[in-house]
Structure formats: C-alpha cells, structure tokens
Amino acid sequence: MGRAWAKRLTKKTKTDASRCQAWSKCSRAIMVAAKGGADPDTNLGLRLAIDEAKLANVPRDNIQKAIEKGSGANTDTASFDHLVYEAYAPGGIALIIETLTNNRNRTAPELRTILDKNGGSFANAGSVSFQFDRRGEILIEAGHVTEDQLMEIALGAGADDIQGDDTDGWQVLTDGASFLAVKTAIEKAKIPVASAGIVMHPQNTIEVTGEAADKLTKLLDLLEENEDVQKVHGNYVMA
C-alpha cells in the first residue's frame, strides 16, 4: 500500500480495544454534530457523522444514544470543543490533527508530548493548512469494482477525480457539494464503501521510504490512539 489513503484501508481489522476506541470517537463526533439538530435529513454534519459510525460498525443503539446526548434529548449532555492543530512530522511532513475534546488543558500537552518524543513539533497557525484543500473522500477496497465501472458511476454523479488501482484500492475525490450524491450513487450500485467522509486533501505530497516511513507510521499511530484525536491528515506518500 503506497498511498496515505491506501494505508488507512489496511486498518480495518481491529482488536476489541481499538474497536471500542473507534466507536467512542464516532459517538463523540455524533454528539457534537447533533447540537445542530437531531434530524440527519436537515443536519448534514450529523448525517456524515452517522454514516462514518455505520462504516465503523457502531451499534444502532449507540448511535441513537449519542444523538440524544448531543441534541439535549437526554439530560446527560456532554460538551466537546472541535480543535484543530497544525504540526510537522520528521522530514517536513505537514500534519493537520483534528480533535474533539472536553478538556483543552489536556489535549495540547498530550499531543505535544507525542510529537516531541517522535521527532515532530507543533506548527504556527496557518503554516500548514494552506497546503490542504477540504474535499470529500470515498475509499473502496480492491476487488469490488473495475476502474471503468467506478469512473462511469462516480464521475457521472459529480466526482472530481478517481485514484488507485486493483492492488491498492480506489480513492474517489469530490467537492463538498457533490460528496453525498457521489456516495449515494456508489452505494446504489452495490459497491461496498470502506470509508467515506470530508478530509483535508494535500495539494502536493512528499514520498517517505524505509526507516523514515517506519518512524512516521509510529507517530501517526500514536496520534490516532489518543482519545481526543478524531482524524490526522498528512501530505505524505508511503513508498
């Protein structure tokens, strides 16, 4: 798996502990999105959070409880802040770290420790984000669709680009307005979606190999294991 997105497709098999952690992060995202309304038909953010939870196999009861908790229907409400940190990994790799936290004083020091111990550092606000564009991303594992079929379906529904092959799998990129239409078209065609959401897509990438790739993988894994971290975006390509 050479690409950053292709690497994510290899993480589908999880231990019970990591599965619970993934479910917890999905529930947290739903709670935050539900503050804007409990109806996913009128709250796009909630719909996206629910879709991601379903792809992570979060039980329906858990999803409903998170909606009630976030929307105030449940008296046991929770408050989380969406904080975005910009950082550098070894080799000048740019990272955007999205978090949802109920304790601002905890999150930054924990992330700083992880970065410092693994050759990374926080970056000044704006020094990394300009290198990324916010786009819709749909990932499909290899073997479920041919390139010609995917191009006809996805591009016909408004996708901007399709990357990948029969070995790495497929990445479909859209703008924000077309994301749901493209995702719906792919699902209606009975093509299994491994992951779908809004991501920070790098304008340019840096190839990482050998020992540097091992160190970067370790850093990314440690960041993603942090309970407050929702997503980590980077401008790397694993060669």
Domain shared by 119 and 28, yes or no: no
How many folded domains does the chain comprise?
A: 3
The whole-number average pLDDT for the span 49-78 is 85
pLDDT band at 1 (very low <50, low <70, confident <90, very high): very low
Strands 236-238 vs 206-208: parallel, antiparallel or unpaired? parallel
Q: Render pLDDT for 70-91 as a digit per residue (tens, 0 to 9).
A: 888 665 556 888 999 999 999 9
Report pTM. Answer: 0.85
Residue-level pLDDT at 222: 96
Domain shared by 123 and 162, yes or no: no
Question: Is a pLDDT exceeding 70 seen at residue 234?
Answer: yes
Domain shared by 85 and 167, yes or no: no
CA 157 vs CA 143, 161, 199, 213, 220: distances in Å: 21, 11, 19, 36, 33
Coil vs helix vs strand at 85: strand
Supply the range of the domain harboring residue 214.
Answer: 81-130+204-238
7 is a domain residue? no
Separation between Cα atoms, residue 106 and residue 149, nearest integer Å: 47
| Of the ranges 44-48, 77-81, 107-111, 174-178, the best mean pLDDT one | 107-111
Question: Is a pLDDT exceeding 60 seen at residue 27?
Answer: yes
135 is a domain residue? no
Separation between Cα atoms, residue 70 and residue 28, nearest integer Å: 9
Separation between Cα atoms, residue 68 and residue 37, nearest integer Å: 10
Q: What is the CATH number of the domain that holds 31?
A: 1.10.10.200
Q: What is the mean pLDDT of the chain?
A: 89
Strands 121-122 vs 132-140: parallel, antiparallel or unpaired? unpaired
Among candidate residues 53, 47, 6, 44, the one with its CA nearest the CA of residue 25: 53
pLDDT band at 31 (very low <50, low <70, confident <90, very high): very high
In which order are the strands placed within the sheet that holds 195-202? 161-165, 169-174, 132-140, 195-202
137 is a domain residue? no
Domain shared by 33 and 146, yes or no: no
Residue-level pLDDT at 8: 62
Contact yes or no for 99/227 (Cβ under 8 A) = no
Among candidate residues 26, 46, 34, the one with its CA nearest the CA of residue 72: 34
Question: Is a pLDDT exceeding 80 seen at residue 14?
Answer: no
3 is a domain residue? no
